[in-house]
């Protein structure tokens, strides 16, 4: 069973390793996320997000994680103190960052909810390791993040994704997000980029 929770600052190494592995496994595939090591998501971004309790992870229990790594490492070799009692075989299967910072261009969208930025959560770097695709982990992650956002008093969640990201768009729509159409945003690593904007009113 997937445990979804806010990650702790002392889990920085595990979170960084997750995104490093994600970039390595997706580069050159049809689902290339176009992220770059050390640039996006940067270690500084991940560390500051962890300190603000803005990283949400989907963590597999030892037994389930063993299925991925069986025969590759012993319990002792794979131990990671960042996971505490979860032990050697725990693994982050999916993760995201939710903060209040939309890219340049978000202000132009006719959002359903007109509230200050601090009342809106913006999802970033939503990812599931390819090994765990097709198990519904991303949906659990996004839905649990919506629950956390409601508990924190947020009014809406928003995000952007590439128009060709059919899998991701299907995920967000299945979680109740409304497609607000194509818009241009600016990212320092990509420049001006056409994306589809999504919003979930909480």
Residue 47's Cβ-side half-sphere holds a number of Cα atoms within 13 Å equal to: 5
pLDDT score of 80: 39
Q: What is the 3-state secondary structure (H, E, C) of 51-62?
A: HCCCEEEEEECH
The least confident of 74-78, 105-109, 125-129 is: 74-78
Helix axes 12-26, 43-51, angle to 10 degrees: 140
Answering whether pTM is above 0.75, one says yes
pLDDT in tens, 55-73: 999 999 876 655 544 333 3
pLDDT for position 74: 29
Domains, in order of start, for the chain? 3-201 (3.40.630.30)
Kindly report whether the peptide bond that precedes residue 158 is cis, defined as omega within 30 degrees of 0. Answer: no
pLDDT in tens, 123-182: 999 999 998 999 999 999 999 999 999 999 999 999 999 998 898 999 999 999 999 999
Residue 155 backbone phi and psi in degrees, to 5: -95, -25
């Amino acid at each position: 069973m997937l445990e979804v929770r806010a990650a702790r600052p002392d889990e920085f190494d595990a979170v960084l390793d997750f995104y490093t592995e994600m970039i390595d496994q997706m580069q050159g595939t049809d689902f290339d996320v176009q992220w770059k090591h050390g640039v996006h998501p940067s270690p500084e971004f991940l560390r500051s997000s962890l300190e603000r309790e803005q990283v949400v992870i989907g963590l597999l229990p030892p037994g389930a994680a063993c299925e991925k790594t069986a025969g590759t490492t012993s319990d002792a070799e794979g131990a990671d103190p960042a996971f505490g009692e979860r032990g050697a075989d725990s693994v982050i299967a999916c993760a995201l960052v939710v903060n209040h910072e939309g890219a340049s261009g978000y202000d132009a969208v006719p959002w359903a909810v007109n509230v200050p930025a601090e009342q809106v959560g913006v999802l970033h770097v939503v990812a599931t390791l390819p090994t765990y695709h097709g198990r519904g982990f991303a949906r659990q992650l996004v839905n649990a993040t919506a629950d956390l956002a409601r508990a924190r008093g947020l009014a809406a969640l928003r995000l952007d994704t590439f128009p060709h990201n059919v899998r991701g768009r299907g995920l967000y729509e299945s979680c109740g997000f409304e497609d607000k159409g194509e818009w241009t945003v600016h990212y320092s690593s990509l420049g001006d980029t056409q994306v589809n904007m999504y919003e979930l009113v909480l």
